[in-house]
Amino acid sequence: LKAAEMHKHNEIKLVFPCKPGWEYKDYVLREYLCYRLYNLLSPYSYRVKRVDFLLRDSANLKYAQKLSGFIIEDKEELAKRQNAKKTSFDFIDPDTLDPQIYLRVQLFQYLIGNTDWCTTTTHNLEPLLLKSGVIVPVPYDFDFSGMVNAAYATPNSTLPIESVRQRFFLGRYASYEELKPTLDFFREKKAALFEEVAAADYLSRSSRKALRKYMEKFYEVIESPERVEEHLLGKPADLLYAY
């Protein structure tokens, strides 16, 4: 915790497998990697620290189970670190958000194949109010993403997809010119993102290989103007308004 500068926190969220088995450990560590990837893309992101720990039964101290998981910094600490204020908004107009940060969040969610979020209801987004008066959204909770690919995850029922592995862009309508700086940013970060996956030795080799392939499909889209037009632009306004 000291190494991660998280030792002074009063509250820390602990994420660990909900069931025994290697696959549930893999889900948790894949979600941890999603947080790490977004750390590379934005300073407005939750810090995480991977941990191994023993879970003991208070009624039977002889019983102990070793688990792998990660901790997430408290949202108050997140706000303090950004010199911002956490908000209690239950509804946010997307037009009030910092446009470039918002586009970055949208494209990151598309990268990891996550549709389990909503701007207007702040579902799985933490809105921070900066001193400038601008609101920035901080994404979290990625276990329903295609990157994690959990057996229990189901896609957003309002969308025309049948699996969480299918990507669907939930960004509001933007022209190619508006989206281009964000596309360029993700292209510039490509090597760093793939290096983070390659360095994730807490995951099996086969898991890392699968994640690389999944990310490569994302870059096949954003590196092709035709596929950007097909998958990221011109979505119906009535479908996107809720996001």
pLDDT number for residue 164: 96
CA 35 to chain centre: 6
Spatial strand order of the sheet with 125-130 comes to 84-86, 125-130, 135-139
In angstroms, the CA 45 to CA 141 distance is 12
Q: What's residue 9's pLDDT?
A: 61
pLDDT lower than 50: segments of the chain: 236-243
Q: Is the pTM for the entire model greater than 0.85? A: yes
Which residue type sits at 234? G
In this prediction, residue 243 carries a pLDDT of 39
Instruction: Output 183-187 pairs: Cβ under 8 A, ≥24 positions apart.
Output: 183/107, 183/222, 183/228, 185/41, 185/104, 186/41, 186/107, 186/111, 186/222, 187/219, 187/222, 187/223
DSSP state of 95: G
pLDDT of residue 238: 39
Give the pLDDT of residue 2.
63
Return d(Cα 115, Cα 146) in angstroms, integer: 9
Which one, of 192, 96, 76, 183, lies nearest residue 137 by Cα?
Answer: 96
